[in-house]
Amino acid sequence: MNEYVLFLDESKAIGSLRYFCLAGYIISSEVYCNDLMPRVDALKGRIFGKTDVVLHEKEIRDITGDFRCLSDRGIRESFWDGIHDLLLKCEISVVGVGVSVDIATKIYKSKYINSDYNIALQILLENYVHFLERHNAQGNVVIESTNATADSRLRNLFYNIVSDGTLFLDRNAFQTYLKAISFHVKQDNHNGLQIADFIPNAINRKISGLKPKQFSTIPVIESKLYDGNLGMSGKFGLKIIE
C-alpha cells in the first residue's frame, strides 16, 4: 500500500473569527521527502540564509524574531510568493472542518455537546479515510504538540474514532487505512507542520466573512481542496458545521 501523511493545525474562534477550524493537507510520504521538504529548505535558505528557522505564521506576519528581514517589502513579497508556489506545485490535498461557535451557544444550548475538536476530528478523519481508500493507501496523522494533557486527550479521541467508526464509515475502514497519530513540538523544526500552519487561519478568515490578510494563502488553498473525485469539495475538502 502507498503511504500518506495528514499534517494538521487549528485556528480557534477568537475575536472576529467565528469558527473553530481544524485543517491541513494530505501528502504522500514520497512527495513529502522528495519534493516538499527540499522546497521548504530552499525557501528558508534563500530568504533567511539558514534552514533551521521554524516558520510560524503569526511571527512571520508580526515580523518578529528570525523574521525581521521581512520588514523589507521585496523580501516579504518573495517569501510569500515562495509559500504560494510551494503549495501550488506540491502534490497535496487540503482538508478542513469549520465548526461554528453558534452550535454550542445558540443552537443546542447544552452542557453535554461534544467539544469542537471532537466534532471536527470525526469529520476530518472520515474524509481522510475516504481519500486513503481511493488511493489504496494507509496514512498517519501528525499534529503540533501543545501539552501532555491536551495531547493525551486528542490521542484518546483519535483511537476512539478508530475503534468505533463514524456516521458514514464503520470501524473496519478506520482500522484498515489509519495507522497512528503523532505529536511534534514547534522546536522540532518539522517542515510538514510548518506548512500546515498557513492553512487553518486563512480558512477561518474566509468562512468568517473577514477580509483576507495581505499575501493570503486562501486562493491556492481553495484550489487544492479534496473533492472526493466527485467535484464535492464542500463535503470532502472543507466541511462547515453551523
15: CATH = 3.30.420
What's the confidence (pLDDT) of residue 110?
83
Distances (CA, A) of 164 to 64, 155, 160, 171, 237: 44, 14, 6, 5, 23
What is the number of other CB atoms lying within 10 angstroms of the CB of residue 6?
25
Can you give the residue range of the structural domain that contains 117? 2-30+93-241
Q: Coil, strand, or helix at residue 87?
A: helix
Give the integer Cα–Cα distance in Å for 116 and 118: 5
Give the integer Cα–Cα distance in Å for 227 and 232: 5
What is the number of other CB atoms lying within 10 angstroms of the CB of residue 65?
11
Query: β-strand 238-241 against 93-100: which pairing, if any?
Result: parallel
Is residue 208 one of the residues assigned to a domain?
Answer: yes
Is residue 175 one of the residues assigned to a domain?
Answer: yes
Is residue 122 one of the residues assigned to a domain?
Answer: yes
Cα torsion for 61, 207, 209, 83, to the nearest 10°?
30
What's the confidence (pLDDT) of residue 21?
97
Contact 10, 21 (CB under 8 A): yes
Lookup: cell for 101? 461557535
pTM: 0.96
List, in sequence order, the alpha helices (H) in the chain: 29-31, 37-48, 57-62, 73-89, 102, 116-134, 148-164, 171-177, 191-196, 200-207, 218-223, 233-236
Is residue 179 one of the residues assigned to a domain?
Answer: yes
Is residue 50 one of the residues assigned to a domain?
Answer: no
Is residue 140 one of the residues assigned to a domain?
Answer: yes
Q: Coil, strand, or helix at residue 11?
A: strand
Q: Which residues contact 181 (CB under 8 A, 6 or more apart)?
A: 140, 141, 142, 143, 154, 155, 158, 159
What's the confidence (pLDDT) of residue 108?
85
Mind listing the pLDDT tens digit of every residue in the chain (242 residues)? Answer: 899 999 999 999 999 999 999 999 999 999 999 999 999 999 999 999 999 999 999 999 999 999 999 999 999 999 999 999 999 999 999 999 999 988 877 888 888 888 899 999 999 999 999 999 999 999 999 999 989 999 999 999 999 999 999 999 999 999 999 999 999 987 789 999 999 999 999 999 999 999 999 999 999 999 999 999 999 999 999 999 98
Q: Coil, strand, or helix at residue 96?
A: strand
What's the confidence (pLDDT) of residue 126?
98
Q: Give the side-chain half-sphere CA count within 13 A for 132.
A: 28
Is residue 118 one of the residues assigned to a domain?
Answer: yes
Domains: count for the chain: 1
Is residue 60 one of the residues assigned to a domain?
Answer: no
